[in-house]
Amino acid sequence: MIKMEIKTTTQTELIDITDRVRSRILESGIKDGICVITTRHTTSSIIINENERGLRNDILDMLETLLPQNKNYAHDLIDNNAHSHLRAVLLGMNAMVPIEDGHPVLGTWQSIFFVELDGPRNRTVNIKILES
């Protein structure tokens, strides 16, 4: 298991980790297999989509529209971050990409993002690389 530390700087943000994942796959020496990327936290997510400034803002706007803060969620009685947990449930905690010839197989416009939903915090992402 490879650990990747991520220091986030705002409450909600998308951080492109594609290059860091690609480096870890190269370092592993595994040529063909599967790479599983998981976040260890209940208020963050891993997604794959296009790294374009407008779209990144649209994703954050979507989260605010679907799951606004301060909506009298039950969890807010003890922790005041229910919206962060619910957004993490919506986006999911992992992504998987195939590996071929030592590289992650991604489309031209696909990037791997760590999504901070309750920052800023120090976060840990796990990368598991399986040979096939």
Cα separation of 47 and 56, whole Å?
12
Minimum separation from the CB atom of position 79 to Zn ion (A): 3
DSSP E strand boundaries for the chain: 2-7, 13-16, 33-39, 44-49, 94-100, 103-104, 111-116, 122-131
Cα separation of 37 and 27, whole Å?
16
- Among 79, 92, 130, 131, interactor with Zn ion by CB under 5 A: 79
- Is residue 81 part of the contact set for Zn ion (CB under 5 A)? yes
Q: Indicate the residue among 84 and 111 with the shorter CB distance to Zn ion.
A: 84
Minimum separation from the CB atom of position 78 to Zn ion (A): 7
Cα separation of 112 and 117, whole Å?
16
Minimum separation from the CB atom of position 59 to Zn ion (A): 21
Minimum separation from the CB atom of position 121 to Zn ion (A): 12
Piece in contact with Zn ion (CB under 5 A), picked from 28-36, 57-65, 74-82, 89-97: 74-82
Nearest residue by C-beta to Zn ion? 79
Helices assigned H by DSSP within the chain: 18-28, 53-66, 82-91
Mark residues 28-67: x for contact with Zn ion by CB under 5 A, - for none. ----------------------------------------
Structure tokens at 125: 């992402």
